[in-house]
Structure 1
Amino acid sequence: MEETRMGRPRAFDADAALEKAMVIFWEQGYEGASLTDLTEAMGISRKSMYAAFGNKEQLFRKALQRYTEGPGAYVSQALQAPTAREVATMFLAGSIRANTLPGWPTGCLGVQGALAVGKTGRIAHDTLTEWRAHGQAHLRERFQRAVEESDLPADADPDLIARFIMTIANGMAVQAAGGAEREDLRRVADTALRCWPPA
């Protein structure tokens, strides 16, 4: 069991508490998630939250990392696919699954977390903008490699393809949050992939 700085064991499961915080941020966004909402869901006091996770911004960053390694793990998995088209296919399919997981919030924490924010949410907005850009950069690098390996045509634009795939995925996240069914999103992904550059 983890210990606090004072050497006493924590009376709660930090991993479970972080996952509950992730769900609250996913459902309500950064600004919508109050400290009361967070601590009640986590089953801890504010003092315990600050001691274990830092302030709300630090907790959000940790929750986003948890999301990246959990529901969002499809990104790193897709990047390992052997061909560029399979990367795109797996990326969109993984996005659909993550956006429509039974028992979890719909949509994507990285998209919905800070779509509309005031001054107090700027840090979250900037954090998520950077998070999405990071994912797009990984796609761009992977597609650039595909061009170099002749898996994509020599005149293909890796940046444009990465931006296109990311835009489709982000749009599907918004659609999922609005109630779109998994099969509807699959049809969107299939339609998008029909625009794939010919070999």
Structure 2
Amino acid sequence: MSIADLTGAMGIAAASLYHAFGSKADLYREVLRRYGSGGSISLEEIASAPSSFEAVRRMLDGGIAAVTASGKPLGCMVSSGMLMTSAENAGLAAELKAIRTASRKALERRIARDVKAGVLPAATDAAALARFFATILQGLSVQALDGATATELRAVAAAALRAWPSAPSGLL
């Protein structure tokens, strides 16, 4: 969608939009701020989840709900937004990368806590496991854009969760 499309749909002049937001990048940032509050699990929720498995389950469930919400565009602005962009938007693309990285690192720390506590096997690679589930989450967004339903994506998430390392004492 172009600025002309957006301002036309809103019935305002481009100058009004730029006066309110400053630039297209600032408009995108404002949308991200508002968007960030809906559907996905926060860094604090990852850290405070009863287990890393539960954090991942909630992350996938929230992601599926967000990328398939009725009446909203499919996909995810954070997972799919600005993956390939022009030099003029490199700063904004870096901000999105930082958001994705922060989420993955929070999950890595939560997994590492479970490894240290003996909930997960000592050989569990927290970084690789966190990256695996971040990849699944981002892939759900792409699949939603390609037309996958919430039911289909829940089946994918269930398959991914079966890859979770077994707890030494069967605590999961």
Q: What TM-score, normalized by structure 1, do the two folds share?
A: 0.75
Q: For residue 16 of structure 2, what is the aligned residue in structure 1?
A: 48
CA distance in structure 2 between the partners assigned to 1:158 and 1:37 by the alignment: 44
| Number of equivalent positions | 166
CA distance in structure 2 between the partners assigned to 1:146 and 1:91 by the alignment: 17
CA distance in structure 1 between the partners assigned to 2:38 and 2:114 by the alignment: 27
- Matched residue type, 1:48: S
Taking structure 1 as reference, are residues 57 and 197 closer, same or farther at Cα in structure 2, changes over 3 Å only?
same
- Find out whether 1:84 has 2:30 as its counterpart: no
Q: What is the SS of the residue equivalent to 1:104?
A: coil
- Deviation (angstroms), 1:61: 1.3
CA distance in structure 2 between the partners assigned to 1:150 and 1:62 by the alignment: 42
Q: What TM-score, normalized by structure 2, do the two folds share?
A: 0.85
CA RMSD in angstroms, aligned pairs only: 2.0
Q: For residue 176 of structure 1, what is the aligned residue in structure 2?
A: 144
- Deviation (angstroms), 1:125: 2.5
Q: 1:70 aligns with which of 34, 38, 59?
A: 38
Contiguous gaps of at least 5 residues in structure 2: 168-172
Q: What is the SS of the residue equivalent to 1:71?
A: coil
Q: What is the SS of the residue equivalent to 1:143?
A: helix
* Percent sequence identity over aligned pairs: 39
Q: For residue 126 of structure 1, what is the aligned residue in structure 2?
A: 94
CA distance in structure 2 between the partners assigned to 1:75 and 1:171 by the alignment: 19
- Deviation (angstroms), 1:170: 0.6
Aligned residues of 1:147 and 1:153 also touching (Cα < 8 A)? yes
* Structure 1 residue ranges (4+ consecutive) displaced by more than 4 angstroms after TM superposition: none
Q: Which has the higher contact order (CA 8 A, sep 6+)?
A: 2
